[in-house]
Amino acid sequence: MTADEAGAVLPAGHTAYTPGVDDLADLARLLRRHEQEARGWPGADSETVAAEVTGRGATTHLHEAVRDPDGVLRAWINCHDRAAGRILVGVTVDPDLPDAQADPLAAYGFARAEDLGREVLDRRGLERTQLDSGAFADDHRQQRWLRTAGYRHVRDWWQMVRPVDRASDLEQPPLREGVEIHRVRRDEGVGMPDEADLHAVHDVLEHSFADHFNSYRETFEEFVGRLREDPGHRWDHWWLATVDGQPAGALVATTVTTRVGDDGVARPDSSYVEYIGVHRRARGRGVAKALLRTVIADAAARGRGSVGLEVDADSPTGAHGLYLSMGWRTRYTTQSWHRALSVAGSAPVAG
> So what's the pLDDT on residue 232?
94
> pLDDT tens across 25-72, in order?
999 999 999 999 999 999 998 999 999 999 999 999 999 999 999 999
> So what's the pLDDT on residue 347?
57
> So what's the pLDDT on residue 64?
98
> So what's the pLDDT on residue 263?
65
> So what's the pLDDT on residue 264?
65
pTM: 0.91
Tell me whether the CATH fold assigned to 3-156+336-348 matches the one assigned to 165-304: yes
3-156+336-348 has CATH 3.40.630.30 classification: yes
165-304 has CATH 3.40.630.30 classification: yes
Q: Where are the domains of the chain?
A: 3-156+336-348, 165-304
> So what's the pLDDT on residue 189?
65
Q: How large is the angle between the packed helices 220-229 and 195-208, nearest 10 degrees?
A: 100
> pLDDT tens across 228-260, in order?
999 999 999 999 999 999 999 999 999 998 876
Low-confidence ranges of the chain (pLDDT < 50): 1-6, 350-351
Residue-level length of the chain: 351
> So what's the pLDDT on residue 1?
31
- CA dihedral defined by 75, 81, 87, 89, rounded to 10 degrees? -10
